[in-house]
A and B are shown apart, each in its own frame.
Chain A
Amino acid sequence: QVQLQQSGAELAKPGSSVKISCKASGYTFTSYYISWIKQTTGQGLEYIGYINTGSGGTNYNEKFKGKATLTVDKSSSTAFMQLSSLTPDDSAVYYCAKAGFAYWGQGTLVTVSS
């Protein structure tokens, strides 16, 4: 069955970076885009962007350009999102989702605090 397994919670300091992973199984990884979504209590759900897992091409929400970098490792069927120059506003749960949004990872909590 289709599964998206995300990496564990991160505690990071302001100004640092984190890299979250999303390992896919149960389907042909390179045939479907992976999207990334941010969820905070105050801002609800925000769409960060998506990556074409076959070509590596990306499409970002303008708001997250320079903040998020999406990559893939086809050999391990894993998508990654790096968040850079972290501030407390980046504290959130981050989800990956398979194209069509029928399958989501379990979410990764990122907490930015000194």
Chain B
Amino acid sequence: DIQMTQSPSSLPASLGDRVTITCRASQDIGNYLRWFQQKPGKSPRLMIYGATNLAAGVPSRFSGSRSGSDYSLTISSLESEDMADYYCLQSKESPFTFGAGTKLELK
């Protein structure tokens, strides 16, 4: 199975900060990478697909990028509503696999 190594597991940050979360794929997944946001008691929400494409309705402060096997989700200026858990998902090869998650919290 393809392993997705996500870091950091926890990210304390302040409002207005620029923050970045990264997933590293254990083998080539091309751009078959999605990012999700999940708030307590809610279903995951698709934020980024195809590694760099913003999903419908997602604020433009969110962006996705790729450098080789490293995939990043960046929030350019953190807002209070962004405090949540974030997960990556590779869908290049079955079984699809998720990163372990990053808890974004206020410093």
Which A residues fall within an 8 A CB radius of B? Answer: 35, 44-47, 49, 59-63, 95, 100-102, 104-107
Contacts and interface: CB of A to CB of B under 8 A. Distances in A.
B24 interface: no
Nearest to B55: A102
A59 B94 CA distance: 8
Interface residues of B, number: 20
Nearest to B94: A59
Contacts of B87: 44-45
B100 A44 contact: yes
B95 A61 contact: yes
Given A95-B43, A105-B43, 20 more contacts: A35-B96, A44-B87, A44-B100, A44-B101, A45-B89, A45-B98, A47-B95, A47-B98, A49-B95, A60-B95, A61-B94, A62-B95, A63-B95, A95-B44, A101-B36, A102-B49, A102-B55, A104-B44, A104-B45, A106-B43
Nearest to A43: B100
Given A59-B94, A62-B95, A100-B49, A45 B44 contact: yes
A101 B101 CA distance: 17
Nearest to B85: A44
A44 B56 contact: no
Contacts of B97: 47
A104 B43 contact: yes
A59 B93 CA distance: 11
Given A95-B43, A107-B43, A101 B98 contact: no
B82 to A, nearest CB: 19
25 contacts: A35-B96, A44-B98, A44-B101, A45-B89, A45-B101, A46-B98, A47-B95, A47-B98, A49-B95, A61-B94, A61-B95, A95-B44, A100-B46, A101-B36, A101-B46, A101-B89, A101-B91, A102-B46, A102-B49, A102-B55, A102-B56, A104-B44, A105-B43, A106-B43, A107-B43
